[in-house]
Amino acid sequence: MSQLANKLLELSILISKPYLILIYLFGLFGNIFNIIVFCRYSMRLNSCSWYFLTTSLFHIIILTVGCLIRIINYYLGYDISIIGLAFCKFRAYMVVVGYVLSRYFLCLISIDRWMITSKNVSIRRQCTQKQAQLVIIISIIFWFLIEIFIPIGFNIQGNNCVPSTDLFYLFMYRIIDLLCTLFPFFILIIFSFLTLHNILKRRIIPNDGHTLATISASRNNNHQNKASIVKRVFQENNRHYRKYTYKDYHLIRLCFSQVIVFIILNIPGALFSLYMFITRTNIKTIDHLTIDSFLNIIATNLAYTHCALTFYLYTLTSKEFRKQCFLTIHYIQRRFIIRFQ
């Protein structure tokens, strides 16, 4: 191993040891609080909140199964994922599925925000609590089945839990990794721009009801009849149109901020996946493998960072989320006082 490669390895461990501890602690607290806030009754009524809630749950899984075990490895010098073949396979399976589902639900958040701002009534009608719950259940089952081949190829070699070197398995592993890493970028960018377009063009509220109310009212000079007609028209509209609410506006802000941070922090991982796919058949020296390991550690740490920052990002960008946080804290305080009085 060259001096440069040796220095890179030492540097990656030196930086990762304190950094990952902070990321894990802040991330665990933040995502647990996310779940508590989005479980509030006022938030659960919104379809997008269910996607935020589920994303936070899988972030906890990633941080616990991935980040925590890596921290233990750095400090104890022993990879606990090799204590048994079953645990080796389980960890690899949960980390991969956790990453895929967290990115997939972020895409669903962007799609949901585009749907709620759409001018098409039938599209807006799909943004319901029950629809979101159904999509979440089907998505989790689907991706757990799709990724079932991941643990099959993982084995313990020496002191590491690594994927099989079989060419077919390695090709499938890299292609799935590449697709699940790059594809979300396109989905997020496309639907974020479409949502922004809907908002800027003010296509959120349909004009049909307003037009009908104006025509009907112009035929009657009686102010009282006019008011009753307008009221009746808007009551009819409320039955058919999914309203764009104040919470929807703030959930769109959460969506935009999370998309921006996700792209910034996950671009290195996407580029690394592309690089590993291109060079999968190359014969690499020990120095080359060490450099690859250093780049992988940096990309992984940034991915963990995204999983840990969501709560603090939501708090900074949304007044409504801060309000729900304060209400949650006050509720916990009241429950605590009542319990110990």
- For residue 160, the tally of other CB atoms under 10 A from its CB is 12
- DSSP states of 302-334 as a string? HHHHHHHHHHHHHHHH-HHHHHHHHHHHHHHHH
Give tens-digit pLDDT for 279-335.
Answer: 877 777 777 888 888 888 899 999 999 999 999 988 888 888 888 888 888 888 887
> What digits encode the pLDDT tens for the residues 106-137?
999 999 888 888 887 888 888 888 899 999 99
Residue 77 has a pLDDT of 78
pLDDT top residue among 13 and 208: 13
Higher pLDDT, 240 or 24: 24
Is a pLDDT exceeding 80 seen at residue 73?
yes
Amino acid letter for position 286:
I
Instruction: For tokens 């022993």, name the residue.
Output: 78
Prediction pTM value: 0.81
**What's the number of CA atoms in the CB half-sphere (13 Å) around residue 133?**
6
Q: What angle do CA 85, 91, 97 make, to 5 degrees?
A: 135
Nearest partner of 57 among 27, 77, 78, judged by Cα:
27
Helix (H, G, I), strand (E, B) or coil at 117: coil
Q: pLDDT, tens digit, for every residue of 131-171?
A: 999 999 999 999 999 888 888 888 888 777 888 777 778 77
Rounded Cα distance between 209 and 168, Å, is 59
Tokens matching residue 256: 């935009």
| Residues in CB range of 100: below 8 A, 6 or more apart | 143, 147, 180
**283-294 confidence digits (pLDDT tens):** 777 778 888 888
Distance separating alpha carbons of residues 67 and 26, to the nearest angstrom: 12
pLDDT above 80 for 193: yes
Residue 221 has pLDDT above 50, yes or no: no
Q: Residue 174's Cα: distance from chain center in Å?
A: 22
12 or 18, which is more confident: 18
Residue with tokens 């603090």: 312
Domain spans of the chain, in order of start: 1-218+238-340
1-218+238-340: in CATH 1.10.3720.10: no
Q: Which helix (H) or strand (E) holds 269?
A: helix 246-278
**Three-state SS for 156?**
strand
Label residue 180 exposed, middle or buried (CB < 10 Å: 0-12, 13-18, 19+). Answer: buried
| Beta-carbon count within 10 A of 325 CB | 19
Residue 20 confidence (pLDDT) = 93
